[in-house]
Amino acid sequence: MHNILVINAGSSSIKYQLIDCVTGQRRTSGLVERIGEANGRVQHEVPGEAFVWETPIADHSAAFRQMVHGFAKAGTPLAELDVAAVGHRVVQGGSEFHGPTLITDEVAEQILALGELAPLHNPANYSAIVAARETFPDVPHVAVFDTAFHQTMPEAAYSYAIDKNAAEKYGVRRYGFHGISHQVVSQRAAALLDRPVSELKQIILHLGNGASACAIDGGRSVDTSMGMTPLAGLVMGTRSGDIDPGALLHLMRAGLDVDAVDRLLNKESGLLGLAGSNDMRDIRAGVAAGDEAAMLAFEVTIRRLKHYIGAYLALLGGADTIVFTAGVGENHVPLRAAACAGLEWFGIEIDAERNAAPSSAARVISSDSSRVTVLVVPTDEEAEIARQTLEVVAG
C-alpha cells in the first residue's frame, strides 16, 4: 500500500514517477513524449537501467498503455507493484480547490471547466485524468493543484485594481502557481532550521524555466509573483514576467493579433527574447565571456528578483529566511550572490565560500552574522504530490 504513481501531464507529454511514500524512494521514472505524433517516444527508467523506444502514440490513453508496457518491459509489471493511488498534478484549481482532492466525475469536469483560465494546461491535465482512470479503474485518483497553496492569500493580495464586476465575471484575479514547490520547500527549509513552519516568515524563490517568488507567513502563502496566469512576475526562460499591460494594448493596436501577443510574451520573451537562449547556463556562460546581451538579460533578471525580495520583506515585516530552489536557484552561484548583493542593510549577508561550495543537499549559504538565514533547498514536487495524494487516500 505504499507506492504512489505521480503523473505530470502536458498536452504532448506525460512525465511519471512511482514513489514509495514511506521511504520517499523513486522506484521508477519515465517520460512519454510526442503524444499525437507518429514518432512518439518513451523513456522508462529504473535504478541502473533505462529503456527507450519510439512508437506512434495517438493520444493520452495510448500514452498510458505505453507506460504500462514500460513497467512490464522493466520486469516489474504495475499489477504487481501495489499502486495505492495515482496523484495528478493539475495546474489551475481556480478559487474552488484549496487542497488535494479525490477525483470524481464531477471533480474531473470542474478541472476541465477551469481550462477557461488555463487553456494551455487544464485540458491536457483533464485528458490525462480520463485516460489514467480508464487505465487504473480500481485505485483512487487525486488531483494536486499548483494554485491550492496560494488560496490562503488575503483578498488584498489576490485582487487586481480593476472594475470588480468585470474581475468577477471573467475570473480575473491572482491565483499564483508553483504552489506544490513553494509548500514543500518552505517545509524543508523549516526542518533545516529546526523550527516550526508556523513561527517563520519565509521568502521562497523558485527559479527554474518558470520562476516565481512567494511570501510565506507561518506556513501560509500571503503573496506570490505569478498572477492570474504563470506569465506574471520574475523574468523566465521564455516568459516576460511583469510588463505594463498597456504594452499589450499598444502591440495589438499596432496589428499583432491575440495569438501573436501570446506567442511573443509566453514563448519568445524572457532570457530567450533578451539574449537568444532560454537556458540559464548559456546566459551564465555569456556573462562570463562578457557578452552584452547576456549581461543585460542577467541584470534584468537580478533587478526583478530584488524588486520581489524587497517587496516581500516589506509585506512580511522582515524575514527569517530567503530560500533559493529549482534548477537556477539550486545551481547558479553568481546569480544567488548578485540577487543578495547590497542587501546587507536588510540583514542579508551571503557567505561567498558557503555559496560556492558544491552540494546537492539543503544548506545554509548566509554568514553566521546574517540576520536573515539564506538557504538553498532542492525542490521535490513529485514527492510532495505523492505525500498529498497519500494524505487524501489515508483520509
- Per DSSP, the three-state class of 3 is strand
Residue 30, C-beta contacts closer than 8 angstroms, at least 6 positions apart? 15, 16, 17, 42, 43, 44, 45, 67, 70
Nearer to ligand ADP, 291 or 391 (CB): 291
Nearer to ligand ADP, 15 or 27 (CB): 15
Q: How many residues does the chain have?
A: 395
- Specify the stretch interacting with ligand ADP by CB under 6 A; choose among 98-106, 303-311, 323-331, 369-377: 323-331
Nearer to ligand ADP, 213 or 316 (CB): 213
Contact criterion met (CB below 8 Å) for 239 and 230: yes
Q: In the complex, what is the shortest distance from the CB of residue 107 to ligand ADP, in angstroms, rounded to a whole number?
A: 26
Positions in 282-311 near ligand ADP (CB under 6 A): 284
d(CA 214, CA 205): 7
- Specify the stretch interacting with ligand ADP by CB under 6 A; choose among 22-30, 212-220, 241-249, 325-333: 325-333
Q: Does 280 bind ligand ADP (CB under 6 A)?
A: yes
Contact criterion met (CB below 8 Å) for 280 and 271: yes
Nearer to ligand ADP, 101 or 301 (CB): 301
What is the contact mask toward ligand ADP in residues 210 to 249, using x (rule: CB under 6 A)? Answer: x--------------------------x------------
Q: What angle do CA 319, 325, 328 make, to 5 degrees?
A: 125
- Per DSSP, the three-state class of 2 is coil
Contact criterion met (CB below 8 Å) for 302 and 267: no
146 is annotated as an active-site residue? yes
Given 20, 146, 262, 291, which residue is catalytic?
Answer: 146
Q: Does 326 bind ligand ADP (CB under 6 A)?
A: yes
Tell me phi and psi for residue 329, to 5 degrees.
-60, -35
Look at phi and psi of residue 325 and say left if phi exceeds 0, alpha if psi is from -120 to 50, else beta: beta
d(CA 107, CA 96): 10
How many of the chain's residues bind ligand ADP (CB under 6 A)? 13
Q: Does 279 bind ligand ADP (CB under 6 A)?
A: yes
> Exposure of 369 by Cβ count < 10 A (0-12 exposed, 13-18 middle, 19+ buried)?
exposed
Contact criterion met (CB below 8 Å) for 276 and 285: no
Quick one: which H or E segment has residue 9? strand 3-9
Nearer to ligand ADP, 123 or 334 (CB): 334
- Specify the stretch interacting with ligand ADP by CB under 6 A; choose among 48-56, 128-136, 247-255, 328-336: 328-336
Contact criterion met (CB below 8 Å) for 393 and 85: yes
Q: In the complex, what is the shortest distance from the CB of residue 315 to ligand ADP, in angstroms, rounded to a whole number?
A: 25
Q: In the complex, what is the shortest distance from the CB of residue 246 to ligand ADP, in angstroms, rounded to a whole number?
A: 29
Q: Does 209 bind ligand ADP (CB under 6 A)?
A: yes
Q: Does 164 bind ligand ADP (CB under 6 A)?
A: no
The residue number whose beta carbon is nearest to ligand ADP equals 327
Nearer to ligand ADP, 85 or 275 (CB): 275
Q: Does 208 bind ligand ADP (CB under 6 A)?
A: yes
Applying CB under 6 A, the residues found at the interface with ligand ADP are 208-210, 237, 279-281, 284, 326-328, 331-332
Q: Which residues have a catalytic role annotated?
A: 146
